């Protein structure tokens, strides 16, 4: 049966799959909730918004997504507080960034109101899928793909926008050692590095596989021109603590403007930590490490939250980071997750309750 709620047509599953999920043992992004939000673009406009049972998407082999990779995505999370209310964290930032990515990939933008209305309708229907176990949340994956047909290398005339969700645990298991990459580049000036384009991730897999073979879990990308400055990791922005100063690189054409990154800068400053947003040379990290001044490195992102880095490799040498008591990473992680899970006051107005 389908019903209309506001501007959305809703078709519910006849039987929920929720009893199949072991909420005490969740992997990241492996299981999917009962419903998904969908809206198609054709005849020059976005059509009827729908929430429908989670299901396969059927496409012609000539769909442009298969040939020219016109696809973008976002990553967000829904949390449940102690009263069972659903909370989002700065969702309008994701909505805006989706459209920044859309524009760069010549995909039509999706209206803010329809995005929020669709997301909230989906979260209300699937609210029981939001885990409450420590460190878990409902990972939300909004994405758009080119569904129009033809082998001509030009933008599609049809698209699909989907929001799917996955009850998820931690993104990384165990400690992270990173390799500072000097041969391959993730992005270049004038390119699409700042967008969440699917192809940005595909291009990282091979160099990351090579790093894994050498015993590292992630690559830290350096600038494509000189390879002298660290930029970001595959799915996280990077922070470095030298002495008591917290450093992170500036955003650019090549780097994703992370929502966790900008929140961490604000929280760190609020904690009285000195923060510098500036270019960070690999040689500065190595010198600081040799002098014992490189105290911490961590990645920051929605999926990764704050993930401490245990050490890095560069030109065949390994540099280990010390184990810190009361580290910036643990302090900042507690502050941001307490806001996200509704355990503390929302000083910056970042929480968005789904009512
Ligand atoms: N950098 C890249 C390449 C990412 O994929 C992500 C994840 O979204 C981030 C950084 C962190 O961004 P955010 O904090 O908005 O999730
Ligand atoms: C996120 O952190 O939400 C991302 O989109 C990163 C993704 C590659 C897991």
Q: Is 257 helix (H, G, I), strand (E, B) or coil?
A: coil
Residues 156-176 have a mean pLDDT of 95
- Rounded to the nearest angstrom, the distance between the alpha carbon of 302 and the centre of ligand 2 is 6
Cα torsion 352, 173, 167, 29: sign: positive
Q: What is the pLDDT of residues 93-121, one digit of tens each?
A: 999 999 999 999 999 999 999 999 999 99
Predicted pLDDT at 6: 73
pLDDT at position 4 over 80 = no
DSSP string, 161-192: EEEEEEEE--S--S-EEEEE-SS--S--TTSS
- 175: pLDDT strictly greater than 90: no
Q: Is the pLDDT of residue 15 over 70?
A: yes
State the average pLDDT over residues 293-297.
98
What's the CA-to-centroid distance between 349 and ligand 2, angstroms?
Answer: 23
Residue among 28, 235, 304 to mutate when testing ligand 2 (max atoms within 8 A of CB): 235
Ligand nearest to the CA of 265: 1
Q: How far does the centroid of ligand 2 lie from the alpha carbon of residue 6, in Å?
A: 30
201 CA: nearest ligand 2 atom: 8
How many whole angstroms from 75 Cα to the centroid of ligand 2?
A: 5
Give mean pLDDT, residues 289-301.
97
Query: Does residue 193's CB lie within 6 angstroms of at least one atom of ligand 1?
Result: no
Distance in Å, CA 12 to ligand 1 centroid? 32
Provide, rounded to the nearest whole percent, the portion of the chain with pLDDT above 90.
96
β-strand pairing of 8-11 with 49-53: parallel
Distance CA 306, CA 332 (A): 8
CA-nearest residue for atom 2, ligand 1, is 235
> Which residues, judged by CB distance below 6 Å to any ligand atom, belong to the binding site of ligand 2?
75, 201, 235, 301-303
pLDDT at 3: 67
* Ligand 2 atom, smallest distance to 77 CA: 3
Give the total residue count for the chain.
Answer: 355
Pairing of strands 305-314, 137-146: unpaired
Six-digit token string for 112 = 């803010």
227-266 pLDDT, tens per residue?
999 999 989 999 999 999 999 999 999 999 999 999 999 9
Domains and CATH numbers, the chain: 2-168 (3.30.470.10), 176-340 (3.20.10.10)
- Convert the pLDDT of each residue in 185-230 to its tens digit: 999 999 999 999 999 999 999 999 999 999 999 999 999 999 999 9
**Does 1 have pLDDT greater than 60?**
no
Mean pLDDT of the chain: 97
Alpha carbon of 137 to ligand 1 centroid (Å): 17
Query: Ligand 1 mean position to 301 CA, how many Å?
Result: 5
Atom 8 in ligand 2: which residue has the minimum CA distance?
235
Return the residue whose CA atom lies nearest to atom 3 of ligand 2: 75
């Amino acid at each position: 049966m389908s019903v209309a709620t506001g501007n959305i047509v809703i078709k519910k599953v006849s039987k929920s799959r929720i009893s199949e999920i072991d909420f005490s043992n969740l992997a990241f992004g492996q299981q999917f909730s009962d419903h998904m939000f969908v809206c198609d673009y054709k005849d020059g406009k976005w059509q009827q918004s729908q929430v429908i049972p989670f299901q396969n998407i059927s496409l012609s082999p000539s769909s442009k997504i298969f040939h020219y990779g016109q696809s973008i995505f976002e990553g967000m999370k829904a949390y449940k507080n102690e009263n069972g209310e659903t909370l989002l964290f700065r969702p309008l930032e994701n909505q805006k960034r989706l459209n920044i990515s859309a524009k760069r990939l010549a995909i039509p933008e999706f209206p803010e109101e329809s995005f929020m209305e669709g997301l909230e309708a989906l979260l209300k229907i699937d609210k029981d899928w939001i885990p409450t176990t420590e460190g878990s949340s409902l990972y939300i994956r909004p994405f758009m793909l080119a569904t129009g047909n033809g082998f001509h290398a030009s933008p599609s005339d049809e698209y699909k926008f989907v929001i799917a969700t996955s009850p998820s645990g931690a993104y990384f298991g165990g400690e992270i050692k990173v390799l500072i990459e000097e041969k391959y580049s993730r992005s270049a000036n004038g390119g699409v590095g700042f967008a969440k384009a699917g192809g940005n991730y595909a291009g990282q897999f091979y160099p990351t596989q090579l790093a894994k073979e050498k015993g590292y879990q992630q690559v830290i990308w350096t600038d494509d021109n000189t390879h002298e400055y660290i930029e970001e990791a595959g799915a996280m922005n990077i922070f470095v603590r030298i002495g008591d100063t917290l450093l992170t690189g500036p955003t650019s054409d090549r780097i994703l403007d992370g929502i966790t990154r900008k929140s961490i800068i604000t929280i760190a400053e609020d904690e009285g930590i000195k923060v510098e947003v500036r270019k960070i040379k690999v040689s500065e990290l190595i010198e600081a490490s040799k002098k014992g001044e490189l105290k911490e490195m961590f990645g920051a992102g929605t999926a990764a939250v704050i993930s401490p880095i245990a050490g890095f490799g560069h030109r065949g040498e390994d540099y280990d980071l010390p184990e810190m008591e009361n580290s910036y990473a643990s302090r900042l992680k507690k502050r941001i997750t307490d806001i996200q899970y509704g355990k503390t006051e929302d000083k910056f107005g970042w929480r968005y309750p789904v009512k």
